[in-house]
Structure 1
Amino acid sequence: MRLLLVNPNTNARTTALMVEIARRAAPAGVGIEGATARHGAPLITDPAALATAAEAVRDLLQASDLAPFAGIIVAAFGDPGLDAARAAAPSTGIAEAAMAEAAHHGRFAVVTTTPLLADAIAERAAAYGHGGAFAGTWLTEGDAATLTADPARLEAALEVAARRALAEAGPDAVIIGGGPLAAAAAALRPRLPVPVIEPVPAAVALAVRRAHESG
């Protein structure tokens, strides 16, 4: 089985990072390939960039040969272009998968770097049926692009925000919300006292399950 991980931003290094994480999470016999949006932003930080990313996903998939793939993963936390992807093949969004996994634990918080996307995250939680389980979004301090470029600072800032979420809302799980935050999510897992949900591995698991069900 082969899955296509689509990065809705234009940063090919982020694509490679997420593909590496997805491959480590994939069960034996499942291959992961990556594709990067051909237009848009290198980091999705606001609703306009999210809308452009949805168009970029649609355009990328229309120009791609999807026949070899049993499923598609849309690897940005707003799940941009997920509906277009589903018109082409069984598809899974990383926010969709992470929220589903987190909701199994009970109430969950999202921790991320993009304040202008907080409303979009809440809308996704409600759309996926998790409005009652969604405890809210907690944000890092500082510019998202600057943090993302410095892994150590990013991890530290996310940990501070996650501990603030735990103190203020007492969630049963924490999602580190963002495809480019995938490595930081893995690093934070052993540091926090509740399950830390990594969106990319969550999406791999759900995409594999859906591919088996549809095939």
Structure 2
Amino acid sequence: MINPNGNSDATAAMVEQAQNMLGPNVRVTGKTNTQAPTLLATPADMQLAEQGVLALGLQAAQALTDLEKTGAIIIAAFSDPGLSALRAQVSMPVLGIGESAFLEAATQYGRFGIVTITPDADFLASFSARATALGISDQYCGARVTQGNAQALLANPALLDAALSAAITESMMDGAQAIILGGGPLSAAAARLQSQFDVPLINPVAAAARAAFKD
């Protein structure tokens, strides 16, 4: 599992989520892109993320080949930086948590929305572009952004959960039958908040883990 940003704590948390999902017969290891900032927010950040994903992914693929092990690579950022480039250069499955969450939401639940803490207009526009590219644009009913500073929310789980809950309620009013929490660092909140809502809250990390080993 490659975390395209530089937050090693987030890497450890996402690895734990994936490991719990997959069980003891699969070993999940994490790699952090230390060349990128802890939150990807600008085009320059995304370029660093893509470069890091490609380098770490090629290293991981070679290591598995050398050990004669089978496996998959998961890119653990919602925008899936470097996904296409890495897929083109390795023979093993490469999954992005964003793409996996989109496909799980659309195929299993119908209409879906996204809740995120990142207000960047290009980032939000990429959701519609992703839905169109995957052929599920008719099922995508838009994104809602939390109120408050993203870094401050990530530093305070109680504030984060409150902000996410408000945005989830807004997404339900948009007609979402399932809601993706759009960001690797938000994944754990899906389990914390699920009991408060009747619609499924999709953890992108868990969705990618399920997709990687669904067979």
The TM-score normalised by the length of structure 1 is 0.90
Residue 138 of structure 2 corresponds to which residue in structure 1?
A: 132
Q: Which amino acid aligns with 2:146?
A: T
Residue 95 of structure 2 corresponds to which residue in structure 1?
A: 92
Query: Structure 1's 152 and 172: CA in aligned 2 closer, same or farther, altered over 3 A?
Result: same
Query: Structure 1's 130 and 7: CA in aligned 2 closer, same or farther, altered over 3 A?
Result: same
Q: 2:207 aligns with which of 202, 208, 215?
A: 202
Residue 4 of structure 2 corresponds to which residue in structure 1?
A: 8
Residue 105 of structure 1 corresponds to which residue in structure 2?
A: 109
**Alpha-carbon distance between aligned partners in 2 of 1:70 and 1:62, rounded to the nearest angstrom:** 13
Residue 74 of structure 1 corresponds to which residue in structure 2?
A: 75
**Alpha-carbon distance between aligned partners in 2 of 1:80 and 1:110, rounded to the nearest angstrom:** 18
Q: 1:153 aligns with which of 150, 159, 167?
A: 159
Q: Which runs of 4+ in 1 moved over 6 A?
A: none
Please identify which structure carries the higher strand content: 1
Quote the offset at 1:69 in angstroms.
4.8
Judge which range, 192-201 or 60-69, deviates more. 60-69
Q: Which runs of 5+ in 2 are unaligned?
A: none
Q: Give secondary structure in 1 for the equivalent of 2:137.
A: coil
**Alpha-carbon distance between aligned partners in 1 of 2:177 and 2:144, rounded to the nearest angstrom:** 15
Q: Which amino acid aligns with 1:165?
A: S
Report the RMSD for the aligned CA atoms in angstroms.
1.5
The TM-score normalised by the length of structure 2 is 0.90
Aligned residues: 205
**Alpha-carbon distance between aligned partners in 2 of 1:191 and 1:200, rounded to the nearest angstrom:** 21
1:36-75 paired onto structure 2 within 5 Å: 36-64=32-60, 65-67=63-65, 68-75=69-76
Q: 2:195 aligns with which of 190, 207, 214?
A: 190
Quote the offset at 1:28 in angstroms.
4.5
Q: 1:164 aligns with which of 167, 170, 179?
A: 170
- 1:115 equivalent in alignment to 2:111: no
Q: Give secondary structure in 1 for the equivalent of 2:132.
A: helix
**Alpha-carbon distance between aligned partners in 2 of 1:63 and 1:142, rounded to the nearest angstrom:** 38
Q: Is residue 47–residue 120 contact of structure 1 (8 Å, CA) maintained in 2?
A: no
| Identity fraction in percent | 41
Q: Give secondary structure in 2 for the equivalent of 1:123.
A: helix
Q: Is residue 101–residue 202 contact of structure 1 (8 Å, CA) maintained in 2?
A: yes
**Alpha-carbon distance between aligned partners in 1 of 2:24 and 2:136, rounded to the nearest angstrom:** 31
**Alpha-carbon distance between aligned partners in 1 of 2:42 and 2:140, rounded to the nearest angstrom:** 21
Q: Which amino acid aligns with 2:102?
A: M
Q: Is residue 7–residue 75 contact of structure 1 (8 Å, CA) maintained in 2?
A: yes
Q: Which amino acid aligns with 2:136?
A: H
